[in-house]
Amino acid sequence: MKYPKNGRFGEFGGKYIPETLVPAIEELEENYLKFKNDKKFKKELDCYLKAYAGRPTPLYYAKNLSEKIGGAKIYLKREDLLHGGAHKINNTLGQALLAKKMNKKRIIAETGAGQHGVATAMACAALGMKAEVYMGYRDTIRQKQNVFRMNMLGCEVHPVKSGSKTLKDAINEAIRDWITNVENTYYLLGSAVGPHPYPVMVRDFQSVIGNEIKSQMKKINNKTPDTVIACVGGGSNAIGTFYPLVDSNSEIIGVEAAGHGLKSKMHSATLSAGSKGVLHGMMTYLLQDNEGQVTETHSISAGLDYPGVGPEHSYYKDTKRIKYHAATDAEVIDAFLLLTRTEGIIPALESSHAIAEAVKVARKSKKSENIVVTLSGRGDKDIEEIQNYLNKHDKN
Amino acid sequence: MTRIKEKFAELEAKKQKALISYIMAGFPNEKATISTVRGLVKGGADIIELGFPFSDPLADGPVIQNAGTISLEKGTKIAKFFSIVKKIRKETKVPLILMTYTNILYHKGYAKFISEAKKAGIDGFILPDMSIEESKEYLQAAKNKADTIFLISPNTSNTRIQKITKASSGFLYLVAVFGTTGVKTGIKKYTLDAIKQVKKQTKGKIPIGVGFGVSTPEDVKKYIKAGADAVIVGSAYLKLIEKTPQNKLELKITSFTKSLKKQTIL
């Protein structure tokens, strides 16, 4: 679906927004459509992506890991090597540059694990703009390093103490700020969620991942990957990986956070266990109770701890183009340790969900097959969380 | 004709404007809601908006958010809400509007939810996150059953005002300020301009209610003077409920409502 008419991917998406935001959303869509094909804008963004963020990222053949498993060849798309340590910078540079062209003086953003907040702070510092970030109070505690990083980058962090005090509440609060300061503020949303045009715009800015994978695989064996895998919270690294490949023959798998297990209610596996609903301006799959109240989620990775998901993923789930699986906290820790020890690469806990799935798929596949996994971020931010987990479960 | 339309016709004949009072159902408990409604009716509220709590109220400020959280914690479910509405209906014919978020209706199914609400005694709906672009199914479900009250903002274009007016019945809800509910910023010139503009665009086809940040008799007076057909007071009520002991609630609500209502009598 190239550019969704009325912002709908099938029945999903749309714009369920307070009236005050309508002019801002219309202005955003108008400017996005104008600049996305503007040669000068694209050139400027490309410069930043190359020289500032570090694109293209390598496609690394994880030989040790592949041989240890003894199945298909596993390739890692190294978004963890980007400036800031995650794929988030692809989107924040794009949107911050757009905001600058729109003459917006004030940038606000939400963040879960803090990666989007940090990437926003970096992009804004680089482009000479002022950013404020909303972050769930619980997340400010478990990712306090990222709070310091944002502060150092000159960005104000507002801890959000309403609701479950995590990502969804940070989005609510950012939207409330946007409603209040709509005339001068640009809302730099960090995932492929929210009202149209955010899901399609974020997808487009992240599609650099999938486009590079396509040309890099072509150089390696002149075909598209047999399987591509990425983790899904809101789903921005996943849609950026998948979208350029949806018309190919590749098998595509998104991996959600199964937390303590899908039957435990302590998970964030929206597509695997959710139902349709309306949240944060979009119609999509949600984790909700039988009255339509959005439920609290759990994941060992703060970045996947979200009860909704990008509407385009909901569409691909229903059309069955993409499979959505889930990995438990325990599987994720195993995958994290396996990759760290075999390859010397420390993956983010979010990305470790994709690694866990890749291990399962590789085991069942022929040696001649290729799996590409998007390693969306590096795990340095998670060391404390992992240490706590290992101490608790006596796995050290 | 719905109860809401009848009420506006009745007020027009009496040369009065409407006082619309908002409270969160189940805040801080069911008994308090019943006492508050009695106080509102005695004090002269023309229309009552009952909030049904949603987990993610992104158009609401801290006061209504907090009331919603408490109401949910106290176990306000849809069935319980409808039973409260039925109890209120046994005592009064005052028009009742349900204010909540889209997902609550969508989840049950618009048609099913609206039918059940209507049966309990609800006359209209306000969904702050329902934009007209997404409202087709909702409007079909509400047709000939309940009024659909849409919101307009001071930055809404004239073309949109026309579209929203077409989709609305009962009254149009003009959001007074850029912001969430309950934020007190004083009366802005842009709000007064917006009232004039919306009146000009709607040409008296539908009453205009002004809400968000309206909290005192002085506010009511100024907005009525500026041309509003109705004023909506919400967070101020919740603050009063929060600090008033239950046995004095009905009395306090009555006298506060009287002080507001006085300003709507021309």
Size of interface A-B (CB pairs under 8 A): 108
Taking CB atoms and an 8 Å limit, are A288 and B56 in contact across chains? no
In this model, does residue A395 exceed pLDDT 80? no
> What integer pLDDT is reported at residue B244 of this predicted model?
97
Could you tell me which residues are beta bridge partners of residue A223?
A: none
Q: A369 with A226: CB under 8 angstroms?
A: yes
A313 phi and psi, to 5 degrees? -65, -40
**What's the pLDDT tens digit per position in A246-293?**
999 999 999 999 999 999 999 999 999 999 999 999 999 999 999 999
Taking CB atoms and an 8 Å limit, are B102 and A17 in contact across chains? no
> What integer pLDDT is reported at residue A396 of this predicted model?
52
Element (H, E) at A157: strand A156-160
> What integer pLDDT is reported at residue A117 of this predicted model?
98
Q: How far apart are the C-alpha atoms of B103 and A279, rounded to whole Å?
A: 7
Question: What pLDDT band is residue A243 in, cutting at 50, 70 and 90?
Answer: very high
**What's the pLDDT tens digit per position in A303-355?**
899 999 999 999 999 999 999 999 999 999 999 999 999 999 999 999 999 99
Residues of B with CB under 8 A from a CB of A: 54-59, 61-62, 65, 69, 72, 77-78, 101-104, 106-108, 128-131, 133-134, 150-153, 155-157, 160, 164, 175, 178-180, 183
Q: Tell me, yes or no, whether A3 lies in a domain.
A: no
Mean pLDDT of B237-263: 97
Q: How far apart, in Å, do the first and last CA atoms of chain A sit?
A: 47
Give the ipTM of the model, two decimals please.
Answer: 0.96
Nearest to A260 by CA among A358, A199, A326: A326
A187: closest CA of chain B, how far (Å): 14
- CB-nearest partner of B180 from A180, A276, A283: A180
B52: closest CA of chain A, how far (Å): 11
Question: What pLDDT band is residue A216 in, cutting at 50, 70 and 90?
Answer: very high
- CB-nearest partner of A180 from B103, B150, B178: B178
A14: closest CA of chain B, how far (Å): 7
Question: What pLDDT band is residue A1 in, cutting at 50, 70 and 90?
Answer: low
Using a CB-CB cut-off of 8 Å, the residues of chain B touching A306 are none
In this model, does residue B119 exceed pLDDT 90? yes
Q: Tell me, yes or no, whether A40 lies in a domain.
A: yes
In this model, does residue B111 exceed pLDDT 90? yes
Q: Tell me, yes or no, whether A226 lies in a domain.
A: yes
Q: Which of A150-154, A326-330, B176-180, B248-252 has the lowest mean pLDDT?
A: B176-180
Tell me what the pLDDT averaged over chain B comes to. Answer: 97
3-state secondary structure of B137: helix
A10: closest CA of chain B, how far (Å): 14
Q: Tell me, yes or no, whether B209 lies in a domain.
A: yes
Q: Tell me, yes or no, whether B166 lies in a domain.
A: yes
The domain that holds A307 is classified in CATH as 3.40.50.1100
**Same domain as A191, residue A150:** yes
Q: Kindly provide the residue ranges of all beta strands, DSSP E only, lying in B66-203, ordered along the sequence.
A: 96-99, 124-126, 147-149, 151-152, 172-175
Q: Tell me, yes or no, whether A2 lies in a domain.
A: no
Instruction: Provide the greatest CA pair distance for chain B.
Output: 50
A136 phi and psi, to 5 degrees? -55, 140
Locate the chain B residue with the closest alpha carbon to A281: B129
**Same domain as A293, residue A240:** yes
Overall domain count for chain B: 1
What would the two tokens of residue A313 be? 């993923």
Overall domain count for chain A: 2
Locate the chain A residue with the closest alpha carbon to B176: A20
**What's the pLDDT tens digit per position in A98-143?**
999 999 989 999 998 899 999 999 999 999 999 999 999 999 988 8
Tell me what the pLDDT averaged over chain A comes to. Answer: 96
Locate the chain B residue with the closest alpha carbon to A181: B178
Query: End of a domain among A148, A176, A202?
Result: A202
Q: A77 with A213: CB under 8 angstroms?
A: yes
Query: End of a domain among A180, A202, A224?
Result: A202
User: Which domain covers residue A367, as residue numbers?
Assistant: 54-85+207-393
Q: Tell me, yes or no, whether B73 lies in a domain.
A: yes
A278 phi and psi, to 5 degrees? -120, 120
Report the relative pairing of strands B208-211 and B172-175 from DSSP bridges.
Answer: parallel
Locate the chain B residue with the closest alpha carbon to A293: B55
Active site residues of B: 49, 60
**Same domain as A23, residue A66:** no
Nearest to A174 by CA among A378, A342, A17, A305: A17
**Same domain as A191, residue A157:** yes
Which distant-in-sequence residues (6+ apart) come within 8 Å of A169 by Cβ?
A: A136, A160, A162, A163, B56
Q: In this structure, how many other beta carbons lie within 10 angstroms of the beta carbon of residue A227?
A: 21
User: Which domain covers residue B217, as residue numbers?
Assistant: 3-259
Which A positions 127-166 lie with beta carbon below 8 A of chain B?
A: 162-163
The conformational region for residue A162 under phi > 0 = left, psi -120 to 50 = alpha, else beta, is beta
